[in-house]
Structure 1
Amino acid sequence: MSKVLLASRNRKKLAELQRVVDAAGITGLQILGLDDVPEYPEEPEDGATFEENALIKARSGVRATGLPCLADDSGISVDALNGMPGVLSARWSGRHGDDHANNALLLAQLSDTPDERRGAAFVSACALVLPDGTETVVRGEWRGRVLRAERGPNGFGYDPLFAPDDEPAAGRSSAELTPEEKDSLSHRGKALAQLVPALRELAARG
């Protein structure tokens, strides 16, 4: 059984990766999260891009555990804010991971922005780093627009404020989609799908 570390404590991200692996028919691959390995000092995510931050997290995980490590850095890029919050998405309000405060600040900043100028994209960069130094970095984007109020109980982060452009989403917010619908459309789903060949190869090594 091969092991891969997902450098995250977010159980929803772990479940998302597991669904992608299962949907691809990959067997013999055990996915671990940061809560499943001894705690190690995590390096500051001070990269200027999603790709740089994903690599920082993945390299750190490999160094600390000796396991292949997959890391995701993602956020929302709002057209009217010149691409911000971007890499600052998780700490936009000043407190890391405070979804409610981040969403409230984004709504306030866009309060005078008309609907036709509320375009945005969710962006995910995923980095897979192996103990032998092999690095694979992929990117997925999901276009949509920012709503005027939160909608839906699912997802996390800015999901309740994001209405995807994709037709199958039919005007719903990302937080109103089922996990399976979100996997097939989302930025992270698109990025993870590009890593399936590398994950399949990893599983085959046993």
Structure 2
Amino acid sequence: MALPKIEKLVLATHNAGKVAEIGAMLAPMGIHVVSAGELNLPEPDETETTFVGNALLKAHAAAKVTNLPCLADDSGLCVNALNGDPGVYSARWAGPGKDFAMAMQTVHDKLGAGDDRSAYFICVLALVYPDGSEYVFEGRVNGTLVWPARGVGGFGYDPMFAPDGETRTFGEMTPAEKKNYSHRAIAFAALVDAL
């Protein structure tokens, strides 16, 4: 599948960490990237109950306002022992102040001492063109939760997640190192192949 060429793309996010990570991945393709935050677009309420639903909702909302191709992601941490929570509610667990130290503590507190600490990060990218056509790409990385959280890199739950095959957490890795494992990088590889 070859997608229509894109010269300018709106990232439907206000998350500076995502803007930096996604912008770096798209830069080699010569695509001019602008974020919803830079355009002062409102953040739509994420009312869907799936990653795909929320990503499409955000991308369609931005495409409708800007009349440009829009890319949105919905991603989160899914903990097996917590029946997939926080999942699509990962950001909400951090509260209105986006306090991910609190969110990581909540995950840790909900896990019992002997609980399975396996988890995975998932990223769903939704690309929506102004004509309403939509494309979805997914990436997933399995790993283990560590406590206490380690590292100051990355964002969100990165400091408590060590991908399979690594002893370091995403929070202890450089962006280039994280890209070798990242759920977002896996989803982006599929997007780049399509473009």
* 1:146 matched residue in structure 2: 145
- The one-letter amino acid of 2:153's match is N
Matched, 1:17 2:16: no
- The one-letter amino acid of 1:36's match is E
Unaligned runs of 5+ in 2: 1-5
Counterpart-to-counterpart distance in 2, 1:184 and 1:32: 25
Counterpart-to-counterpart distance in 1, 2:8 and 2:104: 35
Given the superposition, is the C-alpha separation of residues 111 and 148 from structure 1 closer, same or farther in structure 2, using an over 3 Å criterion?
A: farther
Counterpart-to-counterpart distance in 2, 1:110 and 1:95: 23
Counterpart-to-counterpart distance in 1, 2:10 and 2:98: 21
- The one-letter amino acid of 1:142's match is V
Counterpart-to-counterpart distance in 2, 1:159 and 1:131: 33
TM-score by length of structure 1 reads 0.86
Q: Per-residue deviation at 1:98?
A: 1.8
Counterpart-to-counterpart distance in 1, 2:33 and 2:127: 13
Matched, 1:127 2:126: yes
Structure 1 runs of 4+ with >6 Å offset:
none
Matched, 1:32 2:31: no
**4-13 or 66-75, which moves further after superposition?**
4-13
Q: CA RMSD in A?
A: 1.6
Spell out, residue by residue over 1:56-115, the C-alpha distance to the aligned partner (whole angstroms, 9 max, x if none).
Answer: 00000001111110001011000100111100111125446221111111111114234x
Number of residue pairs aligned between Structure 1 and Structure 2: 190
Unaligned runs of 5+ in 1: 201-206
TM-score by length of structure 2 reads 0.91
Given the superposition, is the C-alpha separation of residues 125 and 96 from structure 1 closer, same or farther in structure 2, using an over 3 Å criterion?
A: farther
> Among residues 7, 32, 50, which one is paired with 2:12 in the alignment?
7
Identity of aligned residues (%): 43
Matched, 1:178 2:178: no
* 1:88 matched residue in structure 2: 89
- Tell me: higher relative CO, structure 1 or 2? Use CA pairs within 8 A at least 6 residues apart: 1
* 1:189 matched residue in structure 2: 185
